[in-house]
């Protein structure tokens, strides 16, 4: 695995240091990237960046090892024409929707990797999917994997065509899970629990079930069955939740389809 300290000589430029950019940056600094090697471009930078010794909106290195783009897709038309890198800089973008072809128009000589992380990256528990363009060889993909591994797991995609589905599932997915916590808590309240208690139970249940799902590395259907006593409470609840017409499966199908479609629109 590539060591991020290997970037300290030529440096890394981060364009956009909001929620995702700063989560990545924290991971990189923990993995040995020197603050002095980081150059952030952001019109609204977080104040703590300069205190860390990071260059903010200053002069950029002529030939950085990596250029990471973490601005909103809607900003891309404004941002890309202001950036220029050559063939020896790896471009990594985490933006939803925007295609490799769009980055190739801006950086025709560069190896380019699209990465799709998610917000648990902020605590090192993210999952990112990566896909590179034709100029991104084994070394570049390994470097991109090292960058994204700093904030969690990494999977490599077989084709860019998978990226909108990935974005809809794992990129946006934390929001669905957070909403499930909200919905479970609201339902607990409706059954008479005090709001704080309902929220604490919902949050701890989702966290515990998530941890168990990963820890056991078992089919989630088996884990579900282990909760479900015949004729018991869970079976009664699941009868509603798993209803093929009105339950979670068709709802999740529509949810992920809508998110994937939005990704395709953002890429146009």
Ligand X SMILES: NC(=O)C1=CN([C@@H]2O[C@H](COP(=O)(O)OP(=O)(O)OC[C@H]3O[C@@H](n4cnc5c(N)ncnc54)[C@H](O)[C@@H]3O)[C@@H](O)[C@H]2O)C=CC1
111 lies in the site for ligand X, by CB under 6 A: no
User: Judged by CB under 6 A, does residue 60 bind ligand X?
Assistant: no
Is 217 a binding residue for ligand X by CB under 6 A? The answer is no
Residues 24-53 that bind ligand X (CB under 6 A): 41-44
Characterize the bridge pairing of strands 90-93 and 38-41.
unpaired
Total binding residues toward ligand X, as defined by CB under 6 A? 26
Q: Which of ligand A1CAB, ligand X, none does 30 bind, CB closer than 5 to 8 A by kind?
A: none
Q: At residue 64, what are phi and psi to the nearest 5 degrees?
A: -65, 155
Q: Is 71 annotated as a binding residue?
A: yes
HEC-encoded secondary structure of 142-189? HHHHHHHHCCEEEEECCCHHHHHHHHHHHHCHHHHHHHHHHHHHHHHH
Which CB, 133 or 188, lies closer to ligand X? 133
Cβ contacts of residue 81 below 8 Å, gap of 6+?
106
Q: Which is nearer to ligand A1CAB, 96 or 113 (CB)?
A: 96
**Which member of 2, 8, 10, 18 binds ligand X (CB under 6 A)?**
18
- Residue 72 assigned ligand-binding role: yes
Closest separation in Å from C-beta 169 to ligand A1CAB: 10
Min dist CB 163 to ligand A1CAB, Å, is 11
70 known ligand binder = yes
Of all residues in the shown chain, the one whose CB is closest to ligand X is 18
CA–CA dist 42, 130 (Å, integer): 24
- Nearest residue (CB) to ligand X, 15 versus 199: 15
| Among the listed residues 96, 129, 141, 202, the single contact to ligand X using CB under 6 A | 96
Q: Specify the residue, 11 or 173, whose C-beta has the smaller distance to ligand A1CAB.
A: 173
Residue among 95 and 131 whose Cβ is closer to ligand X? 95
For binding to ligand X (CB under 6 A), which residues are involved?
A: 15-21, 41-44, 70-73, 75, 78-79, 94-96, 116-119, 171
- Known binding-site residues equal 57, 70-73
């Amino acid at each position: 695995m590539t060591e991020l300290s290997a970037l300290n000589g030529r440096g890394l430029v981060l364009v956009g240091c909001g929620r995702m950019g700063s989560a990545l940056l924290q991971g990189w600094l923990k993995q040995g990237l020197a603050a002095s090697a980081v150059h952030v471009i952001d019109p609204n930078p977080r104040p703590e960046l300069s205190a860390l010794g990071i260059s903010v909106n200053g002069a950029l290195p002529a030939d950085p090892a990596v250029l990471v783009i973490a601005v909103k897709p809607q900003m891309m038309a404004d941002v890309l024409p202001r950036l220029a890198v050559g063939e020896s800089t790896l471009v990594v973008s985490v933006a939803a929707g925007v295609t490799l072809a769009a980055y190739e128009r801006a950086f025709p000589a560069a190896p380019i990797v699209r990465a799709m992380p998610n917000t648990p990256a902020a605590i090192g528990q993210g999952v990112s999917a990566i896909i590179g363009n034709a100029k991104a060889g084994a070394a570049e993909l390994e470097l991109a994997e090292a960058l994204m591994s700093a904030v969690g797991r990494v999977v490599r995609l077989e084709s860019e065509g998978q990226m909108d589905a990935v974005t809809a599932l794992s990129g946006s997915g934390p929001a669905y899970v957070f909403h499930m916590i909200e919905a479970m808590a609201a339902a607990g309240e409706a059954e008479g629990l005090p709001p704080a208690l309902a929220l604490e139970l919902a949050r701890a249940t989702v966290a515990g079930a998530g941890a168990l799902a990963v820890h056991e590395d078992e089919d989630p259907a088996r884990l579900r069955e282990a909760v479900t006593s015949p004729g018991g409470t869970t079976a009664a609840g699941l009868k509603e939740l798993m209803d093929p017409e009105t339950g979670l499966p068709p709802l999740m199908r529509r949810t992920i389809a809508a998110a994937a479609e939005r990704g395709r629109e953002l890429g146009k």
